A and B are shown apart, each in its own frame.
Chain A
Amino acid sequence: MNQYQVIVGLEVHVELKTATKLFCSCSAAFGGEPNTHTCPVCLGMPGVLPVINQEAIRLATRSALALNCTVRAVSKFDRKQYFYPDLPKAYQISQYDQPLGEYGWVTIRGADGAAKKIGVRRVHVEEDAGKLNHLGQRLGDATGSLVDLNRAGVPLIEIVSDPDLRSAEEARLYLTELRAVLSYLDISDLRMEEGSMRCDANVSLRPADFQGNLEDLPRVEIKNVNSIRNVQRGIEYEVARQRELLAAGERIVKETRGFDDATGKTYSQRSKEEANDYRYFPEPDLPPLVLDPQWIADMKRGLPALPDAIRANLIDRGMPEKDAEVLVLDREAYEYWQQATALFQDERLVTNWMLSDLSRLINARGESFANSRVRPEGLVALLGLIQSGTLSGRMAKEVLEAMFETGQSASQVVKDRGLSQITDASAIQSIVDQVLKDNPAVVQDYLSGKEKALAFLVGQVMKQTRGQAKPDLVNQLLKDSIQKDYAPSQD
């Protein structure tokens, strides 16, 4: 039986976070009442002319540079022509043979930690289409469709990877890293569920003995999947489907398929047997886009720290790789961490509290680090109380929860609940004496070498102090008292 290698390339569309559309001054905001963000330009009226939004070009250039692309000083726009109800002009203004950026890459790291560069073939600028609301469950049984052109003309970048991905897992890693890189650039909301980031996956299987061009393999395109997880699922399903077909001696038909979230399956949407014929030609309404090479170079120098550099820095500082990964992939968490560690020396303590207790509270509420009620200063104040011995770790968890619920400061919660830790030995000594007196057998166990017996005694003291005694102090007092009052004399 023939062996096959999985070949995947991804096309990612990202809506740029501009105030206005790419070629007109209508609002580019998501949603809005239908057809309230339209004008003669984005409605495709005759006689209008597009004018390029400079902010869209700035954001696109920033993205291309962050993805290690070479940015062209001169690029051009082209018409991609097709008929569809969401495209009022019957052509999309896009970039064909002179895209803004080319020859970039994204580095992914698998479970084994090995780095792999995934080529970014191109980053180009284009306009989005309108939104179709089908009157029916889905396109197939719709009786008609309602067209809202608010989105028509919103600026997009399309990021096309090389066919370098060899599994659904690598596709997931690539998308995760790509999204992380873009998140540090402030160029888009990157919300897949709202469509501000969309992904199409091209999947084919290469027979072991195939030596030709990858582009010649029959390719299936999975369109518009709405989450990274579903891209992975869609590719997994598609690989299995194609393997089965090939094993049965059938051929793969070049086609476009949709992904059904509920069943985890892809389904045929349209055969691509007849090659697309978009009849691209240079957009006559737009002269070439010319950028100052100095402007491009300055922008490259002005890029913020990106995930690769941040990751390396965190690991250099002694953070476990796993923790660094969690922080890097969540820009808000990383910024929270930066603010907290600027105020507090013990980075490890900050990381641990952020990634365990605070994360748990934030996730349980569907909130994020950016809008969490407990701000970095608040968390740091709490950690200060642990460090000074005022609070035990266990008490601090309780205080954090209360801070999260009420928005109060750590010191306020401690005061209101009378929670401060008993650090005064004399206040604990009488309880220690009583516990030892009440548990002579356990004391003997300890003296005969059963270390665990001490834990029981510590527990008894903690119980009597309602958890407020400082555990290591209790430990010490118990040991001292047993030695003094119960141990057989050494002389």
Chain B
Amino acid sequence: MELSDREILHVARLARLRLTADELEPLRQDLNRVLDYVSQLQSLDLAGVEPTLHAAADQAPLRKDIETASLSVAEATKNGPKVEQHMFLVPRIMEGGSDDE
């Protein structure tokens, strides 16, 4: 299986990676090796085998709906590169520049 330039650039864009032309080829080789490794699964007959959705517990524990203390605003915003009016200041959001819903 060989990934096309287009596929690689698409995945890079989704991951917000800007690739230079000379980064493309090594990345293709890396990704292809990953895919080859995983594609060993294709050789198995998995008809009738339930997908493993989770490695650990078989059932999610539930929590009671009881409020506990939140962080202080200062603590909550401590890691923000820019904070104004107790909120995270982010640069201008470009329309069409996102893959959000």
Residues of A with Cβ closer than 8 Å to B?
A: 18-20, 25-27, 33-40, 43, 51-57, 76-77, 80-85, 87, 132-134, 139-140, 142-149, 269-271, 276-279, 282, 284, 286-290
Contact = CB atoms under 8 A, between A and B. Distances in A.
Given A76-B53, A148-B87, A279-B14, A270 B95 contact: yes
Contacts of A132: 93
Given A146-B84, A147-B87, A27 B71 contact: no
A288 B59 contact: yes
A25 B92 contact: no
Task: Name A's interface SS.
Answer: loop
Interface string B58-73: 1111111111101101
Contacts of B14: 81, 277, 279
Contacts of B55: 284
Contacts of B93: 84-85, 132, 134, 139, 142, 145
B90 A277 contact: no
A126 B91 CA distance: 27
Contact of A144 (B10, B54, B64, B89): B89
B96 A270 contact: yes
18 contacts: A34-B85, A34-B86, A36-B70, A38-B76, A39-B71, A51-B63, A53-B62, A84-B98, A84-B100, A132-B93, A143-B92, A145-B92, A146-B84, A147-B89, A147-B90, A278-B101, A286-B60, A290-B60
Contacts, number: 145
Nearest to A130: B88
Shortest 9 CB-CB contacts between residues of A and residues of B: A55-B65, A146-B87, A54-B62, A84-B100, A147-B88, A25-B68, A85-B90, A290-B59, A51-B63
Contacts of A142: 92-93
A82 B97 CA distance: 11
Contacts of A148: 87
B89 A146 contact: yes
A107 B58 CA distance: 37
Contact of B57 (A19, A55, A287): A287
B88 to A, nearest CB: 4
B77 to A, nearest CB: 6
A85 B89 CA distance: 9
A288 B52 CA distance: 11
A276 B66 contact: no
B54 A20 contact: no
Nearest to A40: B71
Nearest to B59: A290
Contacts of A33: 73, 86
B65 A145 contact: no
B18 interface: no
Contacts of A269: 95
